[in-house]
Amino acid sequence: MKKSVFLGAMTVAGLAAGAAAAGTLDDVKARGTLNCGVTTGLVGFAAPDANGVWDGFDVGVCRAVAAAVLGDPMAVEFVPTTGQTRFTALASGEIDLLARNTTWTFSRDVDLKFEFVGVNYYDGQGFMVPRELGVSSAQDLDGATVCIQTGTTTELNLADYFRSNDISYEPVPIETNAEAQQQYLAGACDVYTTDASGLAATRATFENPGDHVLLPEIVSKEPLGPLVRHGDNEWADVARWTLNALITAEELGVTSANIAELSAGTNNPEINRLLGTEGELGAMLGLEADWAKNALMAGGNYGELFEANIGESTPIGLARGLNAMWTEGGLIYSPPFR
Ligand SMILES: N[C@@H](CCC(=O)N[C@@H](CS)C(=O)NCC(=O)O)C(=O)O
């Protein structure tokens, strides 16, 4: 009797520790699919295409991880999440990985107990207004109504910015980007504020993007990256080094076009370790030797993913800026593959 009570308590403690204790890497392998939390839809970052297939820069992270672990970039169950629901989805084990323009902050790490495995987009918060308002600076927004997504850093930064500049505003709280877009275009708010990349992505879907301006002020740091649960270290390693593989591949010039040729072996030892023809990096992660090759074949290296989904040749038109490689004056940098 005593023993069964003790075992019962153990089970509850085990559950409370979440899926992390069991090891998400094993769970994903056993399930054969990756449950990846994304946005409810933000074109360029994560949205279903005309055929209902999820596509985008954050989706590319999910597909790379699925390819690294399961050898199949399509073995992903996409779970749409809002600013509010994303953290519960991850904490409860409903998703294995959250790849949803989520800002790495102190409290999300330390208090909510998540582990950010890197940064895939260095961003900052901006403001969009209709051109006809004639506003040219955020300083001119005194008294404005502002559409803002709840459960986001945006909400907190907005309060900080207006307070420290001694200007007032009226928040119009909304749940999703689609709703924000609708409300903003209907004139329910004068201003839409969110991550600058999100503003560019949203504006690109407008009928007349030129009727809307992004104000020059960037009022925060928003390092956006994928995250997992605390204490799930092997799984965190897989996600972290998959992202690092995409970054290192760009640095080393490994692309979709040459990867088949390079994975036959090269005279560059780091390329060989990355692509699994030398060393045991895959086995150290609990994966096949060609894990990074599979991840790269899913959508190309970091720069290819950027250009194809959100880069200057897309309607979203984002410059690399801070997201250029460190060798090009940006912040994108991976530790070495050795
Ligand atoms: N980076 C901020 C904001 C993230 C956020 O919610 N961004 C919006 C606008 S870019 C979004 O992704 N919306 C997509 C959706 O509603 O599903 C955070 O982590 O709190």
Average pLDDT value for residue range 292-297:
98
Atom of ligand 1 nearest to the CA of 80: 17
- Identify which of 100, 109, 318 to mutate to test ligand 1's pocket (most ligand atoms within 8 A of the CB): 100
3 has a pLDDT exceeding 80: no
> 54 and 116 in contact (C-beta within 8 Å)?
no
Q: Tell me, in angstroms, the distance from the centre of ligand 1 to residue 153's CA.
A: 9
Q: How confident is the model at residue 16 (pLDDT cuts 50, 70, 90)?
A: very low
Q: Which atom of ligand 1 is nearest to the CA of 38?
A: 17
CA of 101 to the centre of ligand 1 (A): 6
Q: Do 2-122+224-328 and 125-220 share a fold?
A: yes
- Does 233 score more than 90 pLDDT? yes
Measured in Å, residue 152 CA sits from the centre of ligand 1 at 7
Instruction: Tell whether the model's pLDDT for residue 194 goes beyond 50.
Output: yes
Q: How far is the CA of 193 from the centre of ligand 1 (A)?
A: 10
pLDDT band for position 22 (cuts 50, 70, 90): low
- In SS3 terms, 106-142 reads as HHHHHCCCEEECCCCEEECEEEEEEHHHCCCCHHHCC
253 near 274, Cβ under 8 Å? Answer: no
Instruction: Please give the C-alpha separations between residue 1 and each of 4, 5, 7, 8, 14, in angstroms, as whole numbers.
Output: 5, 6, 10, 11, 20
Ligand 1 atom nearest to CA at 108:
19
What is the pLDDT at residue 291? 98
At the top level of CATH, the class of 2-122+224-328 is alpha beta
Domain 125-220, CATH number (from 3.30.450.20, 3.40.190.10, 1.10.3720.10, 3.90.1300.10): 3.40.190.10
> In testing the pocket of ligand 1, which one of 104, 147, 194 has its CB within 8 Å of the most ligand atoms?
194
What are the b/e assignments for 18-52, b being 16+ CB within 10 Å? bbbeeebbebbeeeeebbbbbbbbbbbbbbbeeee
Sketch the domain layout of the chain as residue ranges. 2-122+224-328, 125-220
Question: In the predicted model, is pLDDT for residue 290 greater than 80?
Answer: yes
Secondary structure of 14-49 in HEC code, one letter for each residue: HHHCCHHHHCHHHHHHHHCCEEEEECCCECCCEEEC
**Confidence bin at 12 (pLDDT 50/70/90):** very low
Q: Using an 8 Å Cβ cutoff, are 145 and 191 in contact?
A: yes
Tell me how far the alpha carbon of residue 178 lies from the centroid of ligand 1, in angstroms.
11
> Separation of 14 CA from ligand 1 center, angstroms?
32
Centre of ligand 1 to C-alpha 150, Å, is: 9
- pLDDT for 2: 39
CB 332 within 8 A of CB 305: no
The 8-class DSSP code of residue 322 comes to: G
Condensed to tens digits (0 to 9), the pLDDT of residues 156-183 reads: 999 999 999 999 999 999 999 999 999 9
Determine the residue type at 201.
A
Q: Model pTM? A: 0.93
Residues with Cβ within 8 Å of 78's Cβ and at least 6 positions away in sequence, in order, are 36, 38, 46, 54, 59, 62
**Tens digits of per-residue pLDDT, 110-124?**
999 999 999 999 999
DSSP state of 99: -
What is the DSSP pairing of strand 125-130 with strand 191-195?
antiparallel
Give the chain's mean pLDDT.
Answer: 94
By the 8 A CB rule, do 93 and 18 touch?
yes
Strand partners, 123: 222
Average pLDDT estimate for 290-303: 98
* Among protein residues, the one whose CA lies closest to atom 3 of ligand 1: 152
Average pLDDT over residues 191-208: 97
> Nearest to residue 251, comparing CAs of 311, 316, 330, 308?
330
- Percent of residues, the chain, with pLDDT higher than 70: 93
Residue 240: the pLDDT is: 98
Tokens of 299: 């959508």
For residue 178, give the ligand 1 atom closest to its CA.
16
